[in-house]
Structure 1
Amino acid sequence: MRAVLLAGVFALVVVAYQKNFQHVIDKAAAKGTVADPAGLLSRDDRAWVLAQAADLRRRFGLELAVRLGGNPAPPRPDDPKTVFLAYDPACRESRVVLPPLVASALPAGFADDLGREHLDAACRDGRGREGTLAALGLLIDTLDQAAGRGKGETQ
């Protein structure tokens, strides 16, 4: 009987350790550039997002935080360097949060439209992956256009 109880306690300890370890891993992943608990992105998609993040950092000095599912914590409202893209698997509360200076250089309501009209709409159509990649691509293209206007280039 003691052996069975000891084995049961040991099994509970192993399960608790695994759950805690997974929680720590999830928490650490949520602090990186891409956190994908929803499992939307392939390895190639993730590599593309990371390349876009490196390009945003190099060209504009901006950090990119992409959260696909889970409970994403948005950046601080006064964070002047983080572009935050959060995909909601329930298709209701996806959002894009831009630093104030970046938001002022883009069309009014642009970030809200990306969240609502691109991410949530794609989610409802069952195309969350495509919507996420398209929203990020559209954001980068719009930033490029704003930078061109700022330099006096015509398009």
Structure 2
Amino acid sequence: MKRLFFVPRGRSTSERLARGLLLAGVFALAVVAYQRNFERVIARTEARGVVADPAGVLSREDRLWLLEAAEHLRGRFGLELAVRLGTDIPPPTLNNPKKIVVYAAPDCAGSRVVLPPLAAAGLPAGLPADLAREHLDAACRAGKPREGLLATVGLLVSALDEAADKAKGDDT
């Protein structure tokens, strides 16, 4: 009887078994390495979708903090966060009513915070405009766009958390 081409060759059964297990181990390592690389590529792509900073205003720690804030918003509210510094603002589309856009204008005058209608309904009226005007634009004019952006996102996340806690009845 002829052996199949993929069966490991060996003198004894235990040697064939060991060779077969080693071959399976090599395939398993290749699959794990491919999966980790794929996850890393996905994380980098998602990070580009969350933060667009062509001028390099934000540090690595700032980007990580913004990614954590985006993850918090996604996990708790199902909202996506998009932070844009000096790029063209992507308008909120009707197809994606779950995206929060924080846009810091390079001219320190046209910054915007765009919230989905459902999220905006739970917050005080005029909060997005105040955040854009009083934090993003004012900090940009003071020469501190980084601090203004981080403060805006932090205040927005805490306002959404407070609104959600009040809706649940947790007024502590």
Normalised TM-score (structure 2): 0.70
- For 1:124, the aligned partner's letter is R
Q: Which residue of 1 aligns with 2:148?
A: 131
Q: Are 2:47 and 2:67, in contact at CA under 8 Å, matched by a contact in 1? A: no
For 1:29 and 1:37, how far apart are their aligned partners in 2?
A: 16
Q: Are 1:38 and 1:89, in contact at CA under 8 Å, matched by a contact in 2? A: no
1:78 Cα offset (Å)? 6.2
Structure 2 counterpart of 1:87, from 96, 104, 117: 104
Q: Are 1:35 and 1:68, in contact at CA under 8 Å, matched by a contact in 2? A: yes
1:72 Cα offset (Å)? 2.2
Matched, 1:145 2:147: no
Q: Which residue of 1 aligns with 2:61?
A: 44
5 Å matches for 1:54-69? 54-69=71-86
Q: Secondary structure at the match of 2:106?
A: coil
- For 1:108, the aligned partner's letter is A
Please provide the CA RMSD for this pair. Answer: 1.8
For 2:168 and 2:137, how far apart are their aligned partners in 1?
A: 33
Q: Identity percentage over the alignment? A: 58
Q: Which residue of 2 aligns with 1:110?
A: 127
Q: Secondary structure at the match of 2:101?
A: strand
1:77 Cα offset (Å)? 5.2
1:79 Cα offset (Å)? 3.2
- For 1:100, the aligned partner's letter is P
Moved over 6 A (4+): 28-31
Q: Are 1:57 and 1:63, in contact at CA under 8 Å, matched by a contact in 2? A: yes
Bigger radius of gyration among the two: 2
For 2:79 and 2:155, how far apart are their aligned partners in 1?
A: 16
Normalised TM-score (structure 1): 0.78
Unaligned runs of 5+ in 2: 1-44
1:126 Cα offset (Å)? 0.4
For 1:91 and 1:141, how far apart are their aligned partners in 2?
A: 24
